[in-house]
Amino acid sequence: MISLIAKTRDGKPLSHEEIDELVQGTVTGLWPDYQLAAWLMAVYCRGLSEDEVFALTGAMAFTGAPPLEPLGIVDKHSTGGVGDKTTLVLAPVMAALGLPMAKMSGRGLGHTGGTLDKLESIPGFRTELTTQELRQQMDTIGVAVIAQSKELAPADKRLYALRDVTATVDSIPLIAASVMSKKLAGGTKHLVLDVKVGNGAFMAQIDDARLLARLMVKIGHHHDRRVSALLTTMNQPLGFAVGNAIEVNEAALCLKGQGPLDLREEVILLARELVHLVTHEPLTQAEERIRQVIDSGQAWEHFGRWIRAQGGQFNAVEEGLPLAPIKKEWRAEKAGTISAIDTRAIGEVALNLGAGRKRLDDAVNPHVGLLCYAKIGRHFEPGEIVATVFADNETEGDRALRDLQKAMTWGDGPLVPQPLVLDRIH
C-alpha cells in the first residue's frame, strides 16, 4: 500500500492490477484507515487519469458482493438538491411507458433531501424488500424504490466514510467513481444523470459540473452502459415544496397534471432521455408519449399501484399527507422582483425545522417543511404570499420565516429566468 500511495502522490498512474489490489484490500480490511486516507488525499491533490478512474470504478463495483441482475430497464441518479422530488414522479412515468424502473435511493443529509425520507412519510411505506418481493413487484407493476443494499459496492462505503472525515469529498474522480460504481453494481443498462449546478448543489460552478458529468458518462460507456447527463439549475428550489410529506403532496399534484411547471418539465426532460437511450427514438417523439401518460392519468395510476405494493396507505396520499400544525405565511410588504435566491439557505431552513438530518443517525420529522413560491424573475405585488412554513411550534415557525427572508434578494426590473437545463452530455 505504501508504494501505491507514493505512486499516486508523485502523479504516476496505477496499473489495473494495482487498483484491483487497492480495492481488494479496502474490502477485506487489509489496508488500515490511515493508509487509505493518505491515498485519498494523494488523489485529491494529484487527480487520476481517465483510465485509472475506469479501472477504479469497475473494481469498486465488482469486488466484494456480486453485482445484481438488472431488475429494471432504466435508472436515474441525481447529485442532490433542494426540493428535488423528481424520482417520485419519474418512476411511475417510466413504468406507465412500459420501461420498468427499480431504483435504490438514499437518505437526506445536510441541506439536501433524500428520496427514502420522502417515501417514508407515507404511512406504512416499506423501503426494505426481500429479493423475491422486489422481483415480484417489478414483474407486476414495473416500479420499485428501495434502500440501497449494504452489500452493494462495499469498497465505496468504506472509502466514502473516510472521504467524509478527511476533506476529500469534493474530488471529481472520487465522486464519479463512487456514483458510477453503485450504478454498475446495480446492473441497470440505461441511466440518466441529473447533475445539479448552482448555489444549492454540491457543484456550484458549471465547469466543475460539466467535468463530473462527462467523466461519469465516459465511465458508463467504458463499461457498456447507455448513459446521458443533464446539467440542471439549482440556483432555486425545484418546485415549491421543501420537506418530506409536503414534497410527496407536490409530486402527487404533478402526476395529476397540476403542480409547479419546473418540476413537470424536469421530469419530462429526464424521462425523454431514458426513452431515447432505450428506443433510440427522437427526443420530440419521446416527449409526446411522456406528456400523454401524465395527462391521461396513466402515470398517476401506476403511482398508486406502486405505493400500495410497498405497503403505503395511498388513500392518505390522495387526501394529502398531513403537515405540521403551525402554519406561518410570509407576504410581500411591497412590490418587487426576486433577483437571487440562496438555495442552500432554504434547504437549511427545512433542515432546522426538522425535515432533514445533520448526522446520518438523526431522526427526521416528516410533517414539517415549507412552500417557497419565490422564483428568480418572479414579480410579487404587496400582500402576495412569498412562502408558507409548516412548523411544530411558533418559535420554530417564526425563525424559519426570518431565515427565509434573509435567503431572498429583491430587485426592481424584470429578469430573465435561468433555463432549467444548462447542458446535455451523451
What confidence tens digit (pLDDT) does each residue in 190-249 have?
999 999 999 999 899 999 999 999 999 999 999 999 999 999 999 999 999 999 999 999
Q: How far apart are alpha carbons 399 and 404 in whole angstroms?
A: 9
The one catalytic residue among 163, 190, 210, 264: 163
Pair 218, 247 in one domain: yes
Pair 214, 122 in one domain: yes
| 222 in any annotated domain | yes
The one catalytic residue among 178, 183, 210, 344: 178
| 419 in any annotated domain | no
| 396 in any annotated domain | yes
Pair 379, 346 in one domain: yes
Pair 310, 384 in one domain: no
Pair 304, 245 in one domain: yes
- Predicted pLDDT at 208: 95
- Tell me the residue range of the domain where 103 lies: 74-148+164-175+185-318
- Half-sphere exposure for 290 (CA within 13 Å, toward CB): 28
The one catalytic residue among 75, 76, 77, 183: 77
Angle subtended by helix axes 86-96 and 261-279, to nearest 10: 40
Pair 221, 80 in one domain: yes
Is 105 annotated as catalytic? no
Domain C-terminal end among 318, 352, 371 = 318
Is 178 annotated as catalytic? yes
| 52 in any annotated domain | no
Question: Helices in 128-205 by DSSP H: which ranges?
Answer: 131-140, 154-164, 172-186
- Predicted pLDDT at 171: 94
- Predicted pLDDT at 153: 85
| 63 in any annotated domain | no
Pair 342, 300 in one domain: no
What confidence tens digit (pLDDT) does each residue in 125-158 have?
999 988 889 889 999 999 999 987 777 788 998 9
The one catalytic residue among 84, 156, 262, 342: 156
The one catalytic residue among 182, 222, 226, 328: 182
Q: Of the candidates 299, 356, 422, which has an alpha carbon nearest to the alpha carbon of residue 114? A: 356
Pair 202, 337 in one domain: no
CATH number of the domain residue 115 falls in: 3.40.1030.10
First to last CA, the chain: 36
Domain C-terminal end among 268, 286, 318 = 318
Is 182 annotated as catalytic? yes
CATH number of the domain residue 348 falls in: 3.90.1170.30
Is 77 annotated as catalytic? yes
Pair 129, 277 in one domain: yes
| 105 in any annotated domain | yes
What confidence tens digit (pLDDT) does each residue in 248-286 have?
999 999 999 998 999 999 999 999 999 999 999 999 999
| 18 in any annotated domain | yes
Residue type, 21: E
Number of domain units in the chain: 3
- Predicted pLDDT at 67: 64
Given the DSSP bridges, would you call strands 336-341 and 408-411 parallel, antiparallel or unpaired? antiparallel
Residue 70 pLDDT exceeds 80: no
Pair 314, 368 in one domain: no
Pair 312, 372 in one domain: no
Angle subtended by helix axes 245-255 and 261-279, to nearest 10: 70
| 68 in any annotated domain | no
Pair 280, 383 in one domain: no
Domain C-terminal end among 318, 338, 363 = 318
C-alpha cell at 77: 441518479
What confidence tens digit (pLDDT) does each residue in 74-110 have?
999 999 899 999 999 999 999 999 999 999 888 887 7
